[in-house]
Chains A and B, each alone.
Chain A
Amino acid sequence: MTYVDDRYNMTAADVFDLECTGISKEFGDFRAVDDVSFRIPSGTFFSILGPSGCGKTTLMRMIAGFEDPTRGDISIKGVSVLSTPPNKRNVKMVFQHLALFPMMDVYDNIAYGLRCAGAAKEEIARRVADVLERVALPDLARREIHQLSGGQKQRIAIARCMALNPDVLLLDEPLGALDLKLREAMKIELKLLQHQFDTTFVYITHDQSEALVMSDYVAVMNAGRFEQVGRPEELYHAPKTAFVAGFVGDSNRWKGRALEVRSDGIKVETDAGLSVVATAYGESPIAEGAAVEIFVRPEFISATKPGEPTPPAAGENEHTGTIDSVLFNGANSRVLVRSPSGTLIEADVVVTGSGEDVREGDPVRLTWARAQSMCFSV
């Protein structure tokens, strides 16, 4: 018999793997986590994305049971775990520096949790072999920890947790210590592992590209609060706050003033003197004359040479300028364009390597749609 709290009147389908209700954590006067609520359905890859120091680790440590929340409730599979000690919660954690036990070999690292749970010897051997198979490292059982590569350590740290069939796996910036190439590879691997184990992953990161690539849902966190929770596309295309717009993805970011507010758009003049037609985003309404902030993603700005035909439906924002520099990066190449007002505008371009390509000093025309200028009141 499991006890199900009837306050929420739950049916089996409504049980979330992890649910936090209004949790806060204060260290003295300082509020590290501020009234955070969210629920995660089974089998989801959920990321918490935020700048360093915003309270991500503190939140995770409360879920794991190493800190007690000042206020609020945490339930796992519908049962409150506030009074459950860390070693009795079926939430396993991959630590920032992995915390593999250096005095044990790979086998004993994985077997540790199973032994704590009182599993029989044959059962342990079977489970360890099975989980090593699933992380694709079947021959490493008797390897010492210091003999493993960074990526292998990573997978062993995950295997050590997954051998215990946790309800939720917490990962605290586990890719932080890896070099770039390996990090890219591990991103995809983590996603595949999550699919394979079909367990809820809560993944903490300050790297927006990690969060966007891997997650089913992302929560953007800032100064202890959740700014927005949503699917990666939602956060990218429909940010609810200026912080989310700025933190998720690249964008041109200008401060300015709303000159004219109409139902079909807002006319804004930036501090540098660029005039832009924008669309209102976010919850708070924008008044005429109010200070605003505008975000335009570089891939929505098309740069054309003066002779070329203008892209259709792009007449809403049109500026001319000269190319200040070309930032070549394969498919993600970009130009920096200096407008007459002196503003530098970033725009994505295709660099083919032929004579058609834009070059430094060329005059260009930049156009983008009104809907792509996201305007937030500040």
Chain B
Amino acid sequence: MSSDVKRLSLILLFSPFALWIVLLILLPHIGMVALSLREKVAPRVYEFGFGNYIDFINEPIYWNTLLRTGSMSLLVTALALLIGFPVAYYIAKIAGKRSRGALFLMCLIPLWVSDLIRAFGWILLLRETGVISSFLIWTGMTDHGIEFLYNDVTVIIGLVYTVILFMIVPLVSTLDGMGDDMIEAGYNLGGNSLTVLRRIIIPYAMPGIVAGCIVVFMLTAGSYLTPILLGGKNSSWFTEQIYDQFITRFNWESGAAFGFLLLAFTSFVVWLGLRLSGQSLTNTVART
């Protein structure tokens, strides 16, 4: 009797979670895959086929955009790691107990502002009539306004700024778990700063590094607002293609195929990264 009660309460407790997974994640994706496998043969007449995927392969613009999105996202991930690691190391190991909380909070502040507002902030700074350009004119370094927007560098800076927090948080949490005596032992046994970093700190932080990289890469590859607003028409971000198919061309079948391709492509890159670094999902993302 009591075991029935237990089971019932378990089901009740578990059901919101299961519903969330099934309704919000599983069903939409199944629907999308099904949608992507329909070919339009005549108005309102569809049949099963891989036509949408074949279109993607036959049109270099599409897969070039996907590859470009992938490589730019990798670059953003690498930059976020390069900048985020020292920051995380400082917060976890060097800053005193009191300043640690304040520093962490400062990293969180950008998250309080919406994506859109943040991007507009950048636009205010960087556009031809923006703050930086006007400042340069005022100092006399240039006599006409300079457009800083709508190029790859700006897109990358904007993306790194948006996602770096997701690199710092897992890094701080793994580095926090590393005792100072581990680093001291590294020096005591004869290592210099470089050896200690390379052979002790980085291997120890590897789960955090991989977790941060996965999250940052997925977020960047799937981001829409920042590349569009800062990169304009030149940004050629793959999410823009998906948006285009769904909204502008009203071609849901092709849009669904693109969406699925983006998911498959990023998953493949993450899988490859895990293989190359010898880590597994359970000891990285699940642990941090």
A113–B189 contact, CB under 8 A?
yes
Cβ distance A92 to chain B, nearest Cβ, rounded Å? 6
Is B195 interfacial (CB-CB < 8 Å)? Answer: yes
| A97-B179, A97-B181, A103-B204 known; A87 vs B188 contact (CB < 8 Å) | yes
B189–A103 contact, CB under 8 A?
no
Cβ distance B85 to chain A, nearest Cβ, rounded Å? 17
Q: Please, how many residues of chain B have a CB less than 8 angstroms from a CB on the other chain? A: 18
Distance in angstroms between the alpha carbons of A170 and B179 in the assembled complex? 19
B179–A99 contact, CB under 8 A?
yes
| A112-B199, A116-B195 known; A99 vs B181 contact (CB < 8 Å) | yes
For chain A residues 81-124, which have a beta carbon within 8 Å of chain B? 85-88, 91-93, 95-97, 99, 101-104, 112-113, 116-117
- B182 nearest CB neighbor, chain A only: A99
For chain B residues 221-246, which have a beta carbon within 8 Å of chain A? none
| A112-B199, A116-B195 known; A101 vs B182 contact (CB < 8 Å) | yes
For chain A residues 345-372, which have a beta carbon within 8 Å of chain B? none
Residues on B with C-beta less than 8 A from A95 are 181, 184-185
Residues on B with C-beta less than 8 A from A103 are 203-204, 206
Is A161 interfacial (CB-CB < 8 Å)? Answer: yes
Cβ distance A145 to chain B, nearest Cβ, rounded Å? 12
Is A4 interfacial (CB-CB < 8 Å)? Answer: no
A92–B184 contact, CB under 8 A?
no
Cβ distance B182 to chain A, nearest Cβ, rounded Å? 5
Is A164 interfacial (CB-CB < 8 Å)? Answer: yes
Name A87's contact: one of B181, B182, B190, B200 (CB within 8 Å). Answer: B190
Cβ distance A294 to chain B, nearest Cβ, rounded Å? 42
B184–A86 contact, CB under 8 A?
yes
Is A33 interfacial (CB-CB < 8 Å)? Answer: no
Pick from B179, B181, B200, B206 the residue with the most CB of A within 10 Å: B181
A101–B200 contact, CB under 8 A?
yes
Is B192 interfacial (CB-CB < 8 Å)? Answer: yes
For chain B residues 169-183, which have a beta carbon within 8 Å of chain A? 179, 181-182
B189–A102 contact, CB under 8 A?
no
Distance in angstroms between the alpha carbons of A96 and B179 in the assembled complex? 11
Distance in angstroms between the alpha carbons of A95 and B179 in the assembled complex? 11
A113–B184 contact, CB under 8 A?
no
Is A74 interfacial (CB-CB < 8 Å)? Answer: no
Name A116's contact: one of B181, B190, B206 (CB within 8 Å). Answer: B190
Residues on A with C-beta less than 8 A from B195 are 116
Residues on B with C-beta less than 8 A from A117 are 190
Distance in angstroms between the alpha carbons of A95 and B186 in the assembled complex? 11
Q: Please, how many residues of chain A have a CB less than 8 angstroms from a CB on the other chain? A: 24
B187–A86 contact, CB under 8 A?
yes
B190–A164 contact, CB under 8 A?
yes
B189–A161 contact, CB under 8 A?
yes
- A113 nearest CB neighbor, chain B only: B189
Distance in angstroms between the alpha carbons of A95 and B116 in the assembled complex? 51
Is B273 interfacial (CB-CB < 8 Å)? Answer: no
Distance in angstroms between the alpha carbons of A88 and B192 in the assembled complex? 9
For chain A residues 59-73, which have a beta carbon within 8 Å of chain B? 64, 66
Residues on A with C-beta less than 8 A from B181 are 95-97, 99
Is A160 interfacial (CB-CB < 8 Å)? Answer: yes
B203–A113 contact, CB under 8 A?
no
Cβ distance B26 to chain A, nearest Cβ, rounded Å? 36
Residues on B with C-beta less than 8 A from A91 are 188
B204–A102 contact, CB under 8 A?
yes
Distance in angstroms between the alpha carbons of A117 and B186 in the assembled complex? 12
Is B145 interfacial (CB-CB < 8 Å)? Answer: no
Is B51 interfacial (CB-CB < 8 Å)? Answer: no
Name B184's contact: one of A85, A99, A102 (CB within 8 Å). Answer: A99
- B193 nearest CB neighbor, chain A only: A87
- A157 nearest CB neighbor, chain B only: B185
Distance in angstroms between the alpha carbons of A97 and B188 in the assembled complex? 15
Distance in angstroms between the alpha carbons of A72 and B191 in the assembled complex? 26
Residues on A with C-beta less than 8 A from B200 are 101
Distance in angstroms between the alpha carbons of A301 and B73 in the assembled complex? 81
A160–B189 contact, CB under 8 A?
yes
B179–A93 contact, CB under 8 A?
no
- B178 nearest CB neighbor, chain A only: A102
- A161 nearest CB neighbor, chain B only: B189
B188–A64 contact, CB under 8 A?
yes
Binary CB contact string for chain A from 312 to 352 against chain B (1 if under 8 A, 0 otherwise): 00000000000000000000000000000000000000000
| A99-B179, A103-B204 known; A66 vs B191 contact (CB < 8 Å) | no
Distance in angstroms between the alpha carbons of A112 and B204 in the assembled complex? 15
Cβ distance A59 to chain B, nearest Cβ, rounded Å? 15
B188–A92 contact, CB under 8 A?
yes
Distance in angstroms between the alpha carbons of A64 and B181 in the assembled complex? 12
Cβ distance B277 to chain A, nearest Cβ, rounded Å? 12
A87–B187 contact, CB under 8 A?
yes
B188–A86 contact, CB under 8 A?
yes
Distance in angstroms between the alpha carbons of A11 and B70 in the assembled complex? 70
Cβ distance A143 to chain B, nearest Cβ, rounded Å? 18
Cβ distance B175 to chain A, nearest Cβ, rounded Å? 13
Cβ distance B200 to chain A, nearest Cβ, rounded Å? 6
Cβ distance A254 to chain B, nearest Cβ, rounded Å? 42
Cβ distance A230 to chain B, nearest Cβ, rounded Å? 29
Distance in angstroms between the alpha carbons of A160 and B191 in the assembled complex? 13
Complex A-B, nearest 9 residue pairs according to Cβ-Cβ distance, in ascending order = A113-B189, A116-B190, A99-B185, A99-B181, A103-B203, A95-B181, A87-B187, A86-B187, A116-B191
11 inter-chain pairs at a CB distance below 8 angstroms, sorted by A residue, are: A66-B187, A86-B188, A91-B188, A92-B189, A99-B185, A103-B203, A112-B186, A113-B190, A160-B189, A164-B189, A164-B190
11 additional contacts (CB under 8 A) given A92-B188, A101-B186: A64-B184, A66-B187, A91-B188, A92-B189, A99-B185, A101-B204, A113-B189, A113-B191, A116-B191, A117-B190, A160-B189
A residues neighboring B (CB under 8 Å): 64, 66, 85-88, 91-93, 95-97, 99, 101-104, 112-113, 116-117, 160-161, 164
